[in-house]
């Protein structure tokens, strides 16, 4: 086969692969919206296909079944969340623990704004015990939680964060960050708070830092030799 003929054969394959990627993305985005609005039980694959504007059998072709589509959608949401926090931590790891945690809170608020399904899915799945919640905790939440508990424990030791169970403290910060944004429609009408504006997002993050990290860093604090 000549190089020209081989390239002609490859072109339809590439176009098919590109269409497949576009279809998967449409299905994922539609699934995220549907599952966050109606929960797993209240969402049908036909509803997802209609939202995505694709034929229903394509869900089976790309994701096999509803459960695998839910997990793929959750992976999409929570992997982006984990990546955002990890990148923020790496960028600020040589700053003081308070500054690093503050930057992570800002990153949390901003990601929750771009992906409100992050907390909506958690609320839906936390309403009763189920295998999806177990998978979500083990796969995505536990690694983040453990790392953050350690940071908060250090901030408590330094007198920056309030004393008490660091796991409870972290979850209070987490729910203050994402819960407000998940309730954006209600807050707009009940309290005239528009969480879609950059100014409000900054104010949310700033207030969370002031409330949950009220102390100052010790004047003699120095970064460790290992960075």
**pLDDT at 226 exceeding the cut of 80:** no
Domain count for the chain: 2
Mean pLDDT across the stretch 168-195? 90
Residues 150 and 193 in one domain: yes
Could you report the per-residue pLDDT of 114-135, keeping only the tens digit for each? Answer: 888 888 898 889 988 899 999 9
Residues 133 and 79 in one domain: yes
Say if 209 falls within a structural domain: yes
pLDDT at res. 50: 96
Say if 36 falls within a structural domain: yes
Domain range for 41 is 1-64
Mean pLDDT across the stretch 159-163? 97
pLDDT at res. 145: 87
Residues 48 and 160 in one domain: no
Could you report the per-residue pLDDT of 57-73, keeping only the tens digit for each? Answer: 999 999 999 999 999 99
**What confidence tier does 20 reach under pLDDT thresholds 50, 70, 90?**
confident
Residues 106 and 182 in one domain: yes
Residues 108 and 20 in one domain: no
Say if 222 falls within a structural domain: no
pLDDT at res. 169: 95
Q: How many CB atoms lie within 10 A of CB 217?
A: 15
97-114 and 198-212 helices, crossing angle to 10°? 140
pLDDT at res. 106: 95
pLDDT at res. 181: 85
Could you report the per-residue pLDDT of 21-38, keeping only the tens digit for each? Answer: 899 999 999 999 999 999
**pLDDT at 227 exceeding the cut of 70:** no
Helix H, strand E, coil C: the string for the chain is CCHHHHHHHHHHHHHHHHHHHHHHHHHHHHHHHHHHHHCCCCCCHHHHHHHHCCCCHHHHHHHCCHHHHHHHHHHHHHHHHHHHHHHHHHHHCCCCHHHHHHHHHHHHHHHHHHCCHHHHHHHHHCCCCCHHHHHHHHHHHHHHHHHHHHHHHHHHHCCCCCCCCHHHHHHHHHHHHHHHHHCHHHHHHHHCCCCCCHHHHHHHHHHHHHHHCCCCCCCCCCCCCCC
Say if 193 falls within a structural domain: yes
pLDDT at res. 161: 97
Say if 111 falls within a structural domain: yes
Q: What integer best gives the mean pLDDT of the chain?
A: 89
Of 181 and 91, more confident: 91
Residues 122 and 43 in one domain: no
Residues 22 and 107 in one domain: no
């Amino acid at each position: 086969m000549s190089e020209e003929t081989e390239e002609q054969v490859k072109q339809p394959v590439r176009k098919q692969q590109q269409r497949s990627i576009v279809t998967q993305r449409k299905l994922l985005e539609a699934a995220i919206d549907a599952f966050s609005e109606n929960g797993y039980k209240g969402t049908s694959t036909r509803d997802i296909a209609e939202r995505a504007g694709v034929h229903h059998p394509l869900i089976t072709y790309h994701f096999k079944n509803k459960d695998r589509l839910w997990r793929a959608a959750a992976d999409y949401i929570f992997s982006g969340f984990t990546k955002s926090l990890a990148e923020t931590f790496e960028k600020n790891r040589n700053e003081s623990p308070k500054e690093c945690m503050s930057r992570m809170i800002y990153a949390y608020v901003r990601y929750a704004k771009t992906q409100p399904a992050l907390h909506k899915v958690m609320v839906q799945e936390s309403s009763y015990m189920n295998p999806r919640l177990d998978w979500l905790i083990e796969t995505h939440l536990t690694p983040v939680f453990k790392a953050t508990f350690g940071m908060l424990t250090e901030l408590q030791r330094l007198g920056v964060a309030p004393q008490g169970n660091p796991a409870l403290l972290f979850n209070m910060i987490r729910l203050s960050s994402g819960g407000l944004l998940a309730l954006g429609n209600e807050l707009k009408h009940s309290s005239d708070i528009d969480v879609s504006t950059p100014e409000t997002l900054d104010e949310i993050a700033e207030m969370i830092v002031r409330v949950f990290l009220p102390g100052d860093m010790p004047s003699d604090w120095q970064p460790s030799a290992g960075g």
